Every structure is written in C-alpha cells, then in structure tokens.
Chains A and B, each alone.
Chain A
Amino acid sequence: MVDIRIPIGLMFTIIGTLITIFGFVTISNTEMYHKSLGINVNIIMGILMLIFGLIMLFYALWKKKKA
C-alpha cells in the first residue's frame, strides 16, 4: 500500500532540521537553557531526530530498490 517509513522519515527529518536550526539560533541564550541544566537540548534532540528520520528514509528507499 504505502511504506510508513517514508512519512515517518520525512516528518522527523523536517522537525529535526527545524529544532536543530532553532537550537543553533538560540545557542547564546543561557537563560532559556537554564531550565534544561544548561544543556542545549534542542541541538541534541534535533540532530537525533534528523538522524532517525534519514535512517527511516534511506531504509525505505533501499527496500524499494530491492523490490
């Protein structure tokens, strides 16, 4: 029917990119990251989501190619 990995991959790639960029833009805002114990969780989570999204997409494409 459709490979669910594609929408999942796309969504996490988009949101991941967005949060990563936002994390870099706000990198000097120490007040904002005071909550998260001084850690810029946006960059960490953003990159994590981006990697997850891309793995899903590549896996879906690879499956499609094989089939």
Chain B
Amino acid sequence: MRVDLSWIDYLIMIIYFLFVLGIGWFLRKFMKNANAFLEAGRSMPAWVAGLAFISTNLGALEVMGMTGSGMKYGMLTTHFYWIGAIPAMIFLALFMMPFYYGSKARSVPEFLKLRYDEKTRGLNAILFALMTVLASGISMYALALLMENVLGWDFNLSLWISALIVLGYTYLGGLSSAIYNEVLQFFIIVIGLLPLVFLALKDVGGWIGLKAQLAPIAISKGYAADAYTSTWMYSGHASANPLGVEWFGILFGLGFVLSFGYWCTNFLIVQRAFAAESKAAARKVPLIGALPKMFIPFLIIVPGIIALALSHDPGKGFVIPADPGGGLNYNLTIIMLLKQYLPTGVLGLGITALLASFMSGMAGNVSAFNTVWTYDIYQSYIRPRTSDEEGDGKHYLKVGRIATVFGILLSIASAYIASKFGNIMDFLQTIFSLINAPLFAVIFLGMFWKRTTGHAAFTGLLLGFLLALLHHGLTIPAGATSLVKGGWIATLHTYPVEMAQNFWTAIIAFGVSTTVTIGLTFLTKQKKSDEELTGLVYSLTPRTIVDKDLPWYQRPVGLAILVSVIFLVLTILFW
C-alpha cells in the first residue's frame, strides 16, 4: 500500500508549508492584544469567514472518513452534507446568529454565562476544552499513522512536524491566521482532489457507467439495484439501504438533533462567524459556507462510491488494505484512490490537500481551545479582569499564546495516548460528542423563551448528557466486539448498526434535556431581568432591518433562499 513520492511532490508540499507559516509571520505584528489574537478583532469579511467556517469542518478525519463512508454506504453518505447540515446552517444564520453576535459574547460558553449563569458556562467550557484537545489529538494520531504506513515517514517526526507547523501559524497570528489559512487550505483541498474525481469518474464511464457497475454489487448484497446511488428512495426500511437507518432516524436523529447540535452550538465552527466584521456579515457566514458544503460530496463521497465499484473489478487491481481487526480499513480509501490515479506532480498536490485538511481541522480546535481557556476558564476563575483595560489586553494575549502552546502539547500527548490505548480515546470521544445535543436544547430554549432559567438550563444540560451516557451504556450495535461501542453497563437493546445507536443516543440526549429544562423552568424563578436579556432573547430584542437597500444576494434571507433551492434540487436529483 506504499505510495512513492518524488522530489516535485515534496517541493509542492514545502511551498505550501512556507505559505502557511508565512501568513502567520505576516500577521504577527497585528496581534497587539487578546481581542486581536483570540477574536481576530471581529474584522473578517463574510466570504473569508464563510470559507473558513466550512474548512474547519473539513478536517483530515472528515475527508478520510467520508470517502470511506462513501464506499460503505454509497450516496446515502450525502445525508451528512445535505439534510444533516444545510437546514441547521440556515437556521444558525437566520435565527441564532443575531443573538450570538449581538450579545458580544466571545464564545459559546460565554453566551451561556450571559443568558444563564456561571455554573452553566463552567460546565460547558470545561467539557468543550477537553473535547477539542482530545479531538485534535486523535486526528493527529490518525494522520501520523497514515504518513507512516503510506508514505513511509517516521511516526514521531510527522506527528511533531505537523503539530509544530500548526503551532507556528496559530501562535504567531492567532485566530486571524487560522482563518486566513483555512481559506487557503479550502482551495488546496478542492483543487488537490479535483483531478481524482475527474479521472475516477472517467475511468468508470461517468455517473451512468458507475450506476451500471454498482447494480450487481447492490443486488448481491440484497439491496435494490440503485441502492448505492440513491439517498432517500430506500429509506422506508432500515434493512433496505446500506446505511441501515430508516427515514425517521435520518430526518430526526441526523437532520435535526445531531446536525443542529453540531452546527449551531459547536464553538469550533461558530467561532468563525463570531469573527465576522458585522452582524450582517456574521449572518451571511454560515450561508456562504453552505454553498460549497453542498458540493463537497462530489469531491470526497463520490470517489468513495467509485472505490466500491473498483474493488469489485479485478482488472483494476484496486485493493483497500485490511485493518488489524480483519475488516477493510475504510479510512485508507482516499489515499488508495490517490495512488491509483494520480501521477507524480498532482499526486503531491493530493497529499498536500490531505495535509491541508488535517491542519484546518486542527487549527480550528486549537483556536477554539485557547479562546475558551483564556476567557471562560482563566478570566473567570483564575485572574478576572482589572480596571486597566490595556494591560489586561496584553496580559490575556500572553495567556492566549501560552494556551496555544499548551493546547498543542496536550493534543500531542493525547495522540500518544491514542496510539497506545486507541479504544479508550475512541470511547472518550464518543462521550464528549454527547454534549452537543443537550447544548442545542438549552441554547435554543434560551434564545426563544425568555422564561428559561439558569438552574433549569444547567440541570437540563447535565441530565441530558448523563442519560445519553446511560443509553450508550445500555445498548450495543449488532456485532460489536468491544465495550467502546456501548453496552458497558448491561445490554438492554441491540441496534442493527452503530449509526442507528448514535442517532438514538442524540435523540434521547436532546429529548431529556428539553423536557428537564422546560419542566424545571416552571419550578424555578427567573433571576435575570428583561433588560439583562435584551439582545439575548428573541422576544426582548428589537428587530432592525438594515439591509433593505442591498441586492438580494448580499442579504441573509436572499442567500438562504438560494441555498435552500440548491439543496432541494440536489435532494430531488439524487433522491
């Protein structure tokens, strides 16, 4: 499974590294205080923040995982990009962004503090900080392992070098540098993977040829002939489609709970919109991100589907290496495709695209971590603000920079833990992913119901998380061999596939959290006055329409309509 690179491939990679670091170097002189470093001075144009918004999400594990899922589940994987992202992004832009941005909160935990109270913020800040470090550690481990297996690079060396490059540009230029580089990385990812899609599609005879080749494979597995190339058509029954989940789970579990939980409350993503130059720009950020988001499946999922066809055609000599467990190592799908089709030159570009996706994901984690650490943990519990605003700005800048170094070192440490105790890390990541759904319930209720109280929100957040954990401990997906997948308390229910279990865990987390928060709100007293909640709650915030004179494509609503139309067309086209 080795891929051999030549000098020109390395040269392309080095030029990319120089530019990434150069952007950080250039921006370093603008980093005069914590505000510039951690919030990019709230100065980003909508298109820059919008592309960064989508690029942060396009981490290495996402690219590798989604191509692998394309091979496993076919076009149904696009549910993660269409129904599982677009409605939530539109909702974030139109309904939530005005309160997030207007509240002047510098992070999602800080919004919880303004809307509710200190304990709700503390709980979220600590869980979030742990989650980001863990997530970047795991993706760093995956990347270094890939480089070792496929390119023959030394594991330790690739781990440290990739971490040091990300550290270099985030330390120098903070969030601005992370965002600018994410835009650059976005273009590298798209352009680097473009020849792959083009060649792979040509090789299998285009979309029509691909469908024809997939039909016998689908039939041999007991599905309808076009099961791998349709999205909703066979979702009536879980067993009729390769994903193994029925329409309700997809629509409600993925399309509502998981997707709104991720896109509307994950600070890693939302931070890019917080950095926009104005409220109007902040509202446009998720919508500008949604435009390319809808087409990314053609770049990373379609090649995965082609890989499925190739692996059944002995003449192609295309093999996905097995993982130690005996199954196919689906994460290697993308790199095996790069090896199959790209000659020296564009191959270097393709590998650079993978490195870029890794860096954009990791920088996202790092810049979210240092902000939450500095503002929500350090400034709240260790050293509060003083009367000296300028001195504070310098002090927190220093703290933010130290947090950047510290965060990366922690990620490296967790990458090493992952290499020794992979299961434990997978387990922890599953657990931390449970915080999003309850968080969405609490923030949503807070923004649209002024009565919601702090005690209710805190309890809802905690109980939603704990019950989701309990559900995970009591159920397993069929065929699970380790307790990491669930059932570590007892096995009360077996799901046909892991994804169904994930969807239901999230649905339960959201359901419990909503019920508890609403119930307790009636039993507790609202301590915040209407004045304190102005700008944070829908009914208490005066509505001002400022964009009447702008052309439709510069207005959030106009863009939202455009995004919805494209979303509908794609859904119908690939029904």
Interface residues of A (CB under 8 A from B): 1-2, 4, 7-8, 10-12, 14-15, 18-19, 22-23, 26, 32-33, 35-37, 39, 41-42, 44-46, 48-49, 52
What is the CA–CA distance of A11 and B184 in the complex, to the nearest angstrom? Answer: 9
A8 and B183 within 8 A (CB): yes
Cβ-defined partner of A18 (8 Å) among B11, B26, B41, B341: B11
Min Cβ gap A23→B in Å is: 7
B346 and A15 within 8 A (CB): no
B345 and A7 within 8 A (CB): no
Chain A residues closer than 8 Å to B183, beta-carbon distance: 4, 8
A19 and B345 within 8 A (CB): yes
Given contacts A8-B184, A10-B19, A45-B194, contact A35 B343 (CB under 8 A): yes
A45 and B12 within 8 A (CB): no
Q: Do most interface residues of chain A lie in helix, strand or loop, or is the interface mixed?
A: helix
What is the CA–CA distance of A50 and B234 in the complex, to the nearest angstrom? Answer: 44
A7 and B199 within 8 A (CB): no
Given contacts A1-B27, A22-B8, contact A7 B343 (CB under 8 A): no
Chain A residues closer than 8 Å to B202, beta-carbon distance: 37
Chain A residues closer than 8 Å to B22, beta-carbon distance: 7
Let me know if B470 is at the binding interface, CB within 8 A. Answer: no
Cβ-defined partner of A15 (8 Å) among B15, B340, B343, B344: B15
Closest to A35 in B: B343
| Shortest beta-carbon contacts, A-B, top 8 | A42-B345, A11-B19, A41-B195, A4-B180, A22-B345, A32-B343, A41-B346, A35-B343
Chain B residues closer than 8 Å to A2, beta-carbon distance: 26-27, 180
B199 and A45 within 8 A (CB): no
Q: Do most interface residues of chain B lie in helix, strand or loop, or is the interface mixed?
A: helix
Q: Which of B8, B22, B30, B41 has the most CB of A within 10 A?
A: B8
What is the CA–CA distance of A33 and B346 in the complex, to the nearest angstrom? Answer: 11
Chain B residues closer than 8 Å to A42, beta-carbon distance: 343, 345-346
A18 and B48 within 8 A (CB): no
Let me know if B80 is at the binding interface, CB within 8 A. Answer: no
B199 and A37 within 8 A (CB): yes
Let me know if B16 is at the binding interface, CB within 8 A. Answer: yes
Chain A residues closer than 8 Å to B15, beta-carbon distance: 11, 14-15, 18
Chain B residues closer than 8 Å to A23, beta-carbon distance: 345
Min Cβ gap A7→B in Å is: 6
Interface contacts beyond A7-B22, A10-B19: sample of 7 additional A-B pairs, CB < 8 Å, sorted by A: A2-B180, A12-B187, A36-B346, A41-B195, A41-B199, A45-B349, A52-B187
B344 and A45 within 8 A (CB): no
Closest to A4 in B: B180
Closest to B198 in A: A41
What is the CA–CA distance of A39 and B308 in the complex, to the nearest angstrom? Answer: 23
Closest to B45 in A: A4
12 contacts between A and B (CB under 8 A): A1-B43, A4-B23, A7-B23, A8-B184, A15-B12, A15-B16, A19-B345, A22-B345, A36-B343, A37-B199, A45-B345, A45-B346
Chain B residues closer than 8 Å to A41, beta-carbon distance: 195, 198-199, 342-343, 345-346
Given contacts A1-B27, A8-B184, contact A35 B346 (CB under 8 A): no
What is the CA–CA distance of A30 and B473 in the complex, to the nearest angstrom? Answer: 57
Chain B residues closer than 8 Å to A11, beta-carbon distance: 15-16, 19, 184
Min Cβ gap A1→B in Å is: 6
Min Cβ gap B111→A in Å is: 26
Min Cβ gap A3→B in Å is: 10
A52 and B27 within 8 A (CB): no
Chain A residues closer than 8 Å to B344, beta-carbon distance: 22, 26, 32
What is the CA–CA distance of A18 and B8 in the complex, to the nearest angstrom? Answer: 8
Let me know if B540 is at the binding interface, CB within 8 A. Answer: no
Min Cβ gap A51→B in Å is: 11
Closest to B195 in A: A41
B341 and A48 within 8 A (CB): no
What is the CA–CA distance of A22 and B195 in the complex, to the nearest angstrom? Answer: 16
Chain B residues closer than 8 Å to A8, beta-carbon distance: 183-184, 187
The residues in B between 312 and 341 inclusive whose CB is less than 8 angstroms from any CB of A are: 340-341
Chain A residues closer than 8 Å to B342, beta-carbon distance: 35-36, 41
Q: Which of B43, B191, B346 has the most CB of A within 10 A?
A: B346
Let me know if B203 is at the binding interface, CB within 8 A. Answer: yes
Closest to A11 in B: B19
B12 and A18 within 8 A (CB): yes
Q: Which of A2, A12, A41, A42 has the most CB of B within 10 A?
A: A41
Let me know if B176 is at the binding interface, CB within 8 A. Answer: yes
Chain B residues closer than 8 Å to A49, beta-carbon distance: 191
A35 and B341 within 8 A (CB): yes
B341 and A45 within 8 A (CB): no
A37 and B203 within 8 A (CB): yes
Min Cβ gap A36→B in Å is: 5
B19 and A19 within 8 A (CB): no
B27 and A36 within 8 A (CB): no
Min Cβ gap B340→A in Å is: 7
Min Cβ gap A22→B in Å is: 5
